[in-house]
Amino acid sequence: MITLALSKGRIFDETLPLLKAAGIEVLDDPEKTRKLILATNQPDVRVVLVRATDVPTYVQYGGADLGITGLDTLIEHGNDGLYQPLDLQIAKCRVSVAVREGFDYAAAVRQGARLRVATKYVAIARDFFAAKGVHVDLIKLYGSMELAPLTGLADAIVDLVSTGNTLKANNLVEVERIMDISSRLVVNQAALKLKREPMRRIIDAFSRALGQS
């Protein structure tokens, strides 16, 4: 049995066409079922639904053989025990710094003031500001980063941006782009050795599907 870990929502939705190209069809709709293990048309392939941030953990410890996860999540988790063979070019976005409209970010950075930065992406933010030589106090949040500058919790946030509509709706502006993000296929290395043939079949099919798109 091959187990693929996916998170509900955009990653699941954008993975479906790749699975289809690999001849794999998921038999349940995750938005309609309460099941956490979904069968596919391939008797030896199943999908487990886990929280996006838990995908690398499932694959690392062998709870899943393969998984699909955003580069953001992967960087925060660390690469331990994970083989990363493919950039799937799905769920694309970027990690950016944003501040309240009217906040003079350039001046704050220039003056060397300690910046208070709220984020879920502590590792990415720490490395980014360290490389710039900007002193920051990082405040770890688990959601709704956009609220932090609006309530005075922080001067800036580091968050994912895709269309920019969420920032705009909350009177925030993107002031720096840290990195581009897409989702990656991650593979448990032991599983790749033990189940070499069926694993290669899926990885190669994904790879071919990417080539055609």
Q: What is the nearest approach in angstroms of ligand PRT to the Cβ of residue 1?
A: 25
Instruction: Note whether 165 binds ligand PRT by CB under 6 A.
Output: yes
Residue 11 and residue 52 in contact, taking contact as beta carbons nearer than 8 Å:
yes
Q: Which is nearer to ligand PRT, 7 or 195 (CB)?
A: 7
Distances (CA, A) of 97 to 28, 33, 43, 104, 172: 38, 37, 45, 13, 10
User: Which residue has the CB atom at the shortest distance from ligand PRT?
Assistant: 70
Q: How many residues bind ligand PRT (CB under 6 A)?
A: 22
Say how far apart CA 97 and CA 95 lie, in whole Å: 7
Q: What is the nearest approach in angstroms of ligand PRT to the Cβ of residue 189?
A: 22
Q: Which residues pair with 137 in a beta bridge?
A: 116
CB burial string 35-55: b at 16+ within 10 A, e below: eeebebebeebbbbbbebbbb
Write down how long the chain is. 213
Q: How far is CA 1 from the centre of its chain?
A: 26
Binding ligand PRT (rule: CB under 6 A), the pick from 4, 22, 50, 91 is: 91
Binding ligand PRT (rule: CB under 6 A), the pick from 19, 97, 161, 202 is: 161
Instruction: Note whether 48 binds ligand PRT by CB under 6 A.
Output: no
Instruction: Note whether 59 binds ligand PRT by CB under 6 A.
Output: no
Instruction: Note whether 53 binds ligand PRT by CB under 6 A.
Output: yes
Binding ligand PRT (rule: CB under 6 A), the pick from 50, 59, 93, 191 is: 93
Instruction: Note whether 70 binds ligand PRT by CB under 6 A.
Output: yes
Instruction: Note whether 51 binds ligand PRT by CB under 6 A.
Output: yes
Q: Which is nearer to ligand PRT, 11 or 82 (CB)?
A: 11
**Could you tell me which residues come within 8 angstroms of residue 49 by beta carbon, excluding any fewer than 6 positions away?**
6, 7, 8, 12, 30, 35, 36, 37, 38
Instruction: Note whether 89 binds ligand PRT by CB under 6 A.
Output: no
Instruction: Note whether 162 binds ligand PRT by CB under 6 A.
Output: yes
Enter the tokens of residue 29: 């709709």
Which residues contact ligand PRT (rule: CB under 6 A)? 7, 9-11, 51-53, 70, 72-73, 91, 93, 159-166, 181, 183
